[in-house]
Structure 1
Amino acid sequence: MKNLFIYCLRRSIGWLFVPFYALAVRVRHLLYDWGIFKSERADRPTLCIGNLTVGGTGKTPHTEFFIKSLSQWYRVGVVSRGYKRQSRGVVVADANTRAEDIGDEPYQIWMKYKEKISGLSVGSRRIEAIRALLVQHPDTEIVILDDAFQHRALEATAYVLLCDYYRPFYRDFMLPAGDLRDLRSRARQADIVIVSKCPADISEREQREIEKQIRRYTGDKPVFFSTYAYGSVKAVWQGSPPCKSEVVLLSGIATPSLFEKAAASCGFKIKEHLAFADHHNYNDHTLQSVLRSLQKHQGASLLTTEKDFAKIKNMPLWQKQLKDSGCYYLPLQVKWLGASPIQPVLQLLQPA
């Protein structure tokens, strides 16, 4: 109740600052529109995947979908900002790269797809990150930009806009009163819109209504709908005992409630959920919280997300303390509710 009060208070006070933030965003876009700030194109076709809001809309799972799909025809490189990494400048991933070097989500992608993609780089200036990637991996044919919708210094070949089903941009408000980091009108930049995190049983009628709302801003751009599908539980470290039916959940993601629903739908009985902020930095203090929870719930296994698994797996102290009792994760992938957007994306990326 206290947290709800603080949240509502912050949002209420936030309205005082919305006009200033919105003005700053508008002026920045105008400076690009008038050519005062310059945009550059990369030497390869680029696919930008992004959103208009802060918080998770599913960019990483959808980036993974496009990696797997486009890799059937092209050598794909990936560029990201590298949010909350501890390094500076441009970093091109290699065999010695750690999560703190490139950020948790790029690290997840690198660990899963380094044999499939040409390479991965991170940098706040995406054009420099692309150039560094191409120097080390000149065989790259297409570059996927993870979270670059607001990065107007780079003009992408094609834009995919993600819209969270539970937090649609057309019902949201600008920061700090709402979660919009960009203007609703910027949705017109999108070539394709994907409504993510939908209920698997969403009706066609509701889909049409959502399309109608989105097209107030995007015109006749195609709209697709996706949900999440979860695979069988996997152990973080080899040699772990089988996962128990009772679990303590551990997550550092934008929407922890979705992880709870996923675990329950897989038949797990949730004893406690240690839910930390998105991109949480796991450390010894976090480990002590986990150990206390497992001590409290004797016989329960620790279950985490695929995103958090990527950070935990290479932490020696965590492995030492948790390997015998077991630590597990739920693999996640995008599932399309209807047609997939891959064919329109392929057409957009074709040379003119």
Structure 2
Amino acid sequence: MKFIRIILFPIMPFYYVITWLRNRMYDLGFKSSKSYDFPLICVGNLSTGGTGKTPMIEYLIRLLKDEKSVATLSRGYKRKTIGFVLADQHANADTIGDEPFQFYRKFKDITVAVDANRQEGIGKLRELKPQPEVVLLDDAFQHRKVNAGFNILLTAYNNLYFKDMVLPTGNLREPRSGAKRADLIVVTKCSKTISDAEKSMITSKLKLKDSQQVFFSYVDYASNVISENDELELSKLPKFTLVTGIANAKPLVDFLKEKGQQFDHLEYSDHYSFKASDIDVLASKSLIITTEKDFVRLSDYNPLKSKLYYLPIEMVIDKALEFNTTVSNYIN
């Protein structure tokens, strides 16, 4: 893969120029971007994935749902439907995508919808009775047809955007200058023990505008794994099979190794569509631990129901009170 990216290096300047020009067209008003008169928060990144957008959306849901009626709007990556779909009791990963389905399963008091056209999706949501008061846009930082009132940009500690290049040689969807559109930048997946000196060094390299703020966060893993009907204490598990279909499984693998867990790892690509042959392999395992995103896709398979568990995670933000206040001030 690295060799192919090196070969494709001559293409990178063309990709850079095309994406830079596209952004400039929006910045200068040659391409139209629609603004809205209600709170619209965009969560996104510059890279191709693995920055923790889903935990960030869930953090915002928990922060806001008791005070405001909240809706999430995602593209619904790899779903088997088209157009606008509102999650209901018939929803699953095939109809709305795995991450939106995860939101729907976990938070029963919010509205979950998908639409690749964010303008149309927002319009459909605002036609609902009652209207959602706040819309969270999942992975829409490059969707410039919508001008969100508040943009949260994520960058992973182990792959900071200022160290990266645009596709196809790097992982950036657009030039690093795109970060200037963000209101907040959150460095995700940090160590719990990251020092103030390192935070200062990273902050200086982000080259923030005066109006921008930066926060640091880490992933907090639960002490129990959960199935449809049961919980098991992580520290007491026998040897198990870890199954991941996410962009970057390394933090989870490192965490389990640090805890002294014994496991074999079956690693699949992000948003992997499990085939019948994959399910046959997994059905032969005695105990499977997976991520919540993978769980919502695998739990429908009857041969796996008695052996399939997921490890819950939450995003923890350093200076959470300051972060929460900044978001609440925008909402209000």
TM-score class, shorter-chain normalisation, is over 0.9
The CA RMSD over aligned residues, in Å, is 1.8
| Distance in 2 of aligned mates of 1:303 and 1:14 | 37
Match of 1:20 among 14, 18, 21: 14
* Structure 2 residue aligned with 1:208: 200
1:335 aligns with 2:328: no
Match of 1:222 among 213, 220, 228: 213
| Distance in 1 of aligned mates of 2:82 and 2:60 | 27
* Structure 2 residue aligned with 1:46: 40
AA of the residue aligned to 2:320: A
> 1:55-77: CA deviations, max 9, x gaps?
21000001000001011321111
AA of the residue aligned to 2:220: A
1:75 aligns with 2:57: no
AA of the residue aligned to 1:142: V
1:301 aligns with 2:287: yes
> 1:35-89: CA deviations, max 9, x gaps?
2221112352101111101021000001000001011321111111111111111
| Unaligned 5+ runs, structure 2 | none
How far apart are 1:132 and its partner, in Å?
A: 1.1
How far apart are 1:267 and its partner, in Å?
A: 4.2
How far apart are 1:323 and its partner, in Å?
A: 3.7
* Structure 2 residue aligned with 1:4: none
How far apart are 1:185 and its partner, in Å?
A: 0.7
Instruction: State the TM-score, normalized to the length of structure 2.
Output: 0.94
* Structure 2 residue aligned with 1:257: 250
Q: Does structure 1 conserve the Cα–Cα contact (< 8 Å) formed by 2:57 and 2:138?
A: yes
Q: Does structure 2 conserve the Cα–Cα contact (< 8 Å) formed by 1:200 and 1:337?
A: no
Distance 1:239 1:342, change over 3 A: closer
Distance 1:16 1:148, change over 3 A: same
Q: Does structure 1 conserve the Cα–Cα contact (< 8 Å) formed by 2:39 and 2:330?
A: no
Q: Does structure 2 conserve the Cα–Cα contact (< 8 Å) formed by 1:42 and 1:130?
A: no
* Structure 2 residue aligned with 1:311: 297
Match of 1:344 among 309, 326, 332: 326
1:84 aligns with 2:68: no
Paired residues in the alignment total 329
> 1:245-278: CA deviations, max 9, x gaps?
21110010011111212323444212x1011000
AA of the residue aligned to 1:256: A
* Structure 1 residue aligned with 2:92: 98
Q: Does structure 2 conserve the Cα–Cα contact (< 8 Å) formed by 1:185 and 1:217?
A: no
SS of structure 1 residue aligned to 2:94: helix
SS of structure 2 residue aligned to 1:193: strand
* Structure 1 residue aligned with 2:278: 286
Distance 1:284 1:225, change over 3 A: same
| Distance in 1 of aligned mates of 2:122 and 2:130 | 11
* Structure 2 residue aligned with 1:3: none
Distance 1:323 1:120, change over 3 A: closer
| Distance in 2 of aligned mates of 1:258 and 1:141 | 35
> 1:81-135: CA deviations, max 9, x gaps?
111111111111111111111111111111111x221x11111111111111222
Percent identity, aligned pairs only? 34
AA of the residue aligned to 1:209: M
Q: Does structure 1 conserve the Cα–Cα contact (< 8 Å) formed by 2:224 and 2:232?
A: no
SS of structure 2 residue aligned to 1:182: coil
* Structure 1 residue aligned with 2:223: 232
| Distance in 2 of aligned mates of 1:16 and 1:282 | 35
| Unaligned 5+ runs, structure 1 | 1-6, 295-299
Instruction: State the TM-score, normalized to the length of structure 1.
Output: 0.89
| Distance in 2 of aligned mates of 1:34 and 1:220 | 20
SS of structure 2 residue aligned to 1:136: coil
